Structure 1
Amino acid sequence: MPRVLLVEDDRAVREGVQLALRRQGHDVASAGTGEAGLEQLRSFRPDVVVLDLMLPGMSGLEVCRSIRATAGQVPIIMATARGDDVDIVVGLEAGADDYVVKPVQARVLDARIRAVLRRVGGTPADGGIPKTETHGELTIDRASLTVTRRGVPAALAPSELRLLLTLSASPGQVFSRQQLLEAVWEHSYHGDARLVDACVKRLRTKLGEPAGQPYYIRTVRGFGYRFLTR
């Protein structure tokens, strides 16, 4: 049974979503503040966090950054009443793996939760690709799902890892944002390309890519991205 931590300050919304997710087969713990959410994170040890962006006191962005710093592999779905582009991009760049705009139907949130958990538990089809490969300073172990740079582990969030595995499986191939949405986030035609761009930005930073001059993950303007190997 998937363990979901719901951090939402509106009591009525929190109780309604918690009940709906339990009916969908999830084990749910909830918190009304960011501080309480971090306490629950340590004791409940969730498989995924559904995090409201607008929280009293410690903001959802602060909570997101704290989770990434202390429990980097836990998937985070950001829930926000705002559909503003800036809020969404800031949340994604803070480390969220996906987002939903409230009010969201329980079945939609359930689908997003199950999709992000599939991404954690699975890898893109490798088509016979060696399980361990080296690209310059990077070593990618597809069997253990680990990435190291100069021998130091890279703490990648689930979406960042899956994006890297997808791109590096076909060095030189250009992937459109839509292709990456479908491969990494399982989002169809109506997916949001901002998920891809924000994840690429975070991934480049964690791989030590020079700002403005990335080597491994190159932007193909007007289309998407490709991975280059040394």
Structure 2
Amino acid sequence: MLEKILVVEDENSIRGFLKINLQRNNFQVIEAGTGEEGLQKAFIEKPKVAILDVMLPGINGFEVCQKLREKFPHMGIIMLTAKSQDMDKIMGLEFGADDYIVKPFNPLELVLRIKALLRRIEENNDNTQDNTIVEFYPFKLDTYSQKAYKNGMELDLTPKEYLILKLFIENPGKAFNRDELLNAIWGLDFIGDTKIVDVNIRRLRTKIEECSSAPKYIETVWGTGYRWNKNEQH
């Protein structure tokens, strides 16, 4: 069965261009010209990956991304951003996107990113078969359901945030640089930039720290990256 890819793009020429290239690579393409139409089709078709333009009539790409992430936590989401709009890239990641690609882009690059994202989704699904509990009080991770808890309360984490938390808890005290985190969470074949690491760390801190501006658990290692404070268990 062909993998379903949702393309939400209001410009007919770009949407048609994407459709042709994705179909040539054996993907089933679901098209939408507005954010509202994209959400409706996503809820019916349940695609593995969604490609969202940022600038859409009605509901914009960020809102679509947020709603898709809430409904489909394991869906792959790639944002299409304008060349000069760095803030669009950051905003997309803040709203739960897995990756972004800048217009104009090489269709081969987009196909490679989709394939890399699909591989990571499958790897994450395979990892859930290991039915174990990982603990670092007050945190507990259920690796089968990929759910995380703090003081018994479930945390509302994206798949990437869950994997980052799991990596830290399994390696307390180890300093990870951004490239190591990028390779461990996004895969060796990820071709975006390391900014995605900082955005996801910031999002994760807001969900697990009492004060995200003065984190107790995820420490910044200046000039290197981040580490889990192994002395914070109590």
TM-score of the two chains, using structure 1 as the length reference: 0.88
Deviations 1:49-95 (A, max 9, x none): 11111112211112122223333332211111234222211221121
What amino acid does structure 1 have at the position aligned with 2:108? R
Once the 2 structures are TM-superposed, how far is the Cα of residue 168 of structure 1 from its aligned partner? 2.5
Which stretches of structure 1, 4 residues or longer, exceed 3 Å deviation after superposition? 187-191
Q: In the alignment, what sits opposite 1:215?
A: 216
Aligned Cα root-mean-square deviation (Å): 2.5
Q: Deviations over 1:35-57 (max 9, x none)?
A: 11110111111111111111122
Change (3 A) 1:189 1:32: closer
Q: Residue 2 of structure 1: CA displacement?
A: 2.0
Task: For residue 122 of structure 1, give the secondary structure of its aligned residue in structure 2.
Answer: helix
Distance apart, 1:156 and its partner CA: 2.4
Whichever residue aligns with residue 12 of structure 1, its letter is S
Q: Which amino acid aligns with 1:37?
A: G
| Contiguous gaps of at least 5 residues in structure 1 | none
Report the 3-state secondary structure (helix = DSSP H, G, I; strand = E; otherwise coil) of the residue aligned with 1:54. coil
For 1:131, the equivalent position in structure 2 comes to 132
Q: Tell me which residue corresponds to 1:179.
A: 180
Partner of residue 167, structure 2: 166
Greater mean alpha carbon deviation, residues 90-99 or residues 32-41:
90-99
Give TM-score, length-normalised by structure 2: 0.87
* Matched-pair contact (CA < 8 Å) for 1:64–1:95: yes
User: Is contact 1:181-1:191 (8 Å) kept?
Assistant: no
Cα distance in 2 for partners of 1:219, 1:188 equals: 25
Quick one: percent identity of the two aligned structures? 38
Which residue pairs with 1:29 in the alignment? 30
> Do 1:138 and 1:148's aligned partners in 2 also have CA atoms closer than 8 Å?
yes
Unaligned runs of 5+ in 2: none
Alpha-carbon separation, structure 2, partners of 1:142 and 1:120: 15
Cα displacement string for residues 82-134 of structure 1 (whole angstroms, at most 9, x for unaligned residues): 342222112211211111112222221122112222222224xx9xx993121
Q: 2:82 is matched with which residue?
A: 81
Say which is worse superposed, 146-155 or 187-196, in terms of deviation.
Answer: 187-196
Distance 1:169 1:149 in 2: 16
Give yes or no for contact 2:172–2:229 (8 Å, CA) kept in 1: yes
Distance (whole Å) between structure 2 residues aligned to residue 133 and residue 187 of structure 1? 25
- Return 156-165 or 45-54, whichever deviates more: 156-165
Aligned counterparts of 1:199 and 1:179: Cα–Cα separation in 2? 14
- Higher mean Cα deviation, 143-152 or 31-40? 143-152
Would you say the 8 A contact 1:133–1:141 is kept in 2?
yes
Deviations 1:140-161 (A, max 9, x none): 1223322222333333222222
- CA deviations on 1:191-228 (whole Å, 9 max, x unpaired) are 41210011111222233542212222211122101123
Instruction: Determine helix, strand or coil for the equivalent of 2:38.
Output: helix
Q: Distance in 2 between matches of 1:143 and 1:71?
A: 17
Report the number of matched residues: 228
2:120 and 2:190 map into 1 onto residues whose CA distance is 19
Question: CA contact under 8 A between 1:120 and 1:158: conserved in structure 2?
Answer: no
Is the Cα–Cα contact under 8 Å of residues 97 and 158 in structure 1 kept in the other structure?
no
